[in-house]
Amino acid sequence: MWNKERFQRAQLALRSIKEDFSLNQCVHTVAAFDVSFQAGLGVGVVALFNYQSVQLMECEIVVKEPYVPYVPTYLAFREMPYILALYKKLHEEPDLLLIDGHGKSHPRGMGIATQAGLSLRKPSIGVAKRLLFGDLLETADGSSLVVHPETREPLAVAYKEKPRFKPVFISVGAGVSNLSEAVSLVLPLFKGHREPEPLRYVHNVSLQEGRRMRDGVQQVN
DNA sequence: GCGACAG
DNA sequence: ATCTTGTCGC
């Protein structure tokens, strides 16, 4: 059975894991994850990308029923089963994980990107489409900073690939030394869209795969 | 008590 | 996230 108390205990227990891993000097590959839900089924997708060229290397899919509902600030407990299964399917070990959601910019500093990084012992970065926690501070260069409500510590950067875009919120997951490093690692992955290309790709694959299953396969591929 | 609340 | 059509704009 699930409840907030168990979720919170598990989340805080994970927080005490030692980060005995860190980013390689050179990041060669990045793995992006996303999960969508269609007709009661969860469709998880991972895509391995070459970091330098931002070209697709591998794509894997996992389809299964979710174990628990979505509970605000406990997203990882719903989506982590997909991420773990997807990670096992990869034929090559990635250097960096890119997660659709927050990392450190979370009420307990334990967003899904952080939980994923700690669980898999891999450096991770979170990219979320909406703010969850923290105060938004406008900066001169057009982008904004998210800071902790009390400590005022920087938690995330609100980045707009184009001025007319709504921002995405980039935050440290695990194994990345600081926010500015996380941002500089993600920026090269943007290709003129709101989200970095690897995340945009897995999101699209997840949606189309979900619809294909829901509507029934009309053709064999 | 009230409102907010990633995906 | 999902339920859902057309529509305005670059």
Which of A41-50, A112-121, A161-170 has the least mean pLDDT?
Answer: A161-170
Residue extents of the structural domains in chain A: 20-212
Residue A1, pLDDT score: 82
Q: Measured CA to C1', what is the nucleotide nearest A214?
A: C2
Nucleotides of B under 7 A from a protein CB: 5-7
Confidence check: pLDDT of A220 > 80: no
Q: Which residue has the tokens 């500089």?
A: A184
Residue nearest to nucleotide B5 (CA to C1'): A72
The answer to whether A204 CB is within 7 Å of strand C is: no
pLDDT at A218 over 60: no
CB contact at 8 A, A79 and A35: yes
Q: So what CATH class is A20-212?
A: alpha beta
**Do A72 and A99 contact (CB within 8 A), yes or no?**
no
Provide residues 12-41 of A with CB closer than 7 Å to any strand C atom.
Answer: 36-39
Task: Give distance CA A219 / C1' C2 (Å).
Answer: 25
Mean pLDDT within A160-188: 96
Instruction: Report CA(A103)–C1'(C3) in Å, whole number.
Output: 29
Taking the C1' atom of every nucleotide in all shown strands and the CA of A169, the nearest one is B6
Per residue, what are the HEC states of chain A? CCCHHHHHHHHHHHHCCCCCCCCCCCCCEEEEEEEEEECCEEEEEEEEEECCCCEEEEEEEEEECCCCCCCCCCHHHHHHHHHHHHHHHCCCCCCEEEEECCCCCCCCCCCHHHHHHHHHCCCEEEEECCCCCCEEEECCCCCEEEECCCCCCEEEEEECCCCCCCCEEEEEEECCCCHHHHHHHHHHHECCCCCEHHHHHHHHHHHHHHHHHHHCCCCCC
pTM value is 0.95
Q: A75-89 and A4-15 helices cross at what angle (nearest 10)?
A: 50
Residue A186 CA, nucleotide C4 C1', distance (Å): 33
Protein residue closest to B6, using CA and C1': A101
Which pLDDT band holds residue A142 (cuts at 50, 70, 90)? low
pLDDT of A221 over the 50 cut = no
- Residue lying closest to nucleotide B7, CA to C1': A75
CB atoms within 10 A of CB A179: 22
| Alpha-carbon span A104 to A178, nearest angstrom | 10
State the nucleotide closest to A42 in CA–C1' terms.
C1
- Spanning CA of A172 to C1' of C3, the rounded length in angstroms is 33
**Covered bases, chain C (protein CB within 7 Å):** 1-3
Return mean pLDDT, chain A: 94
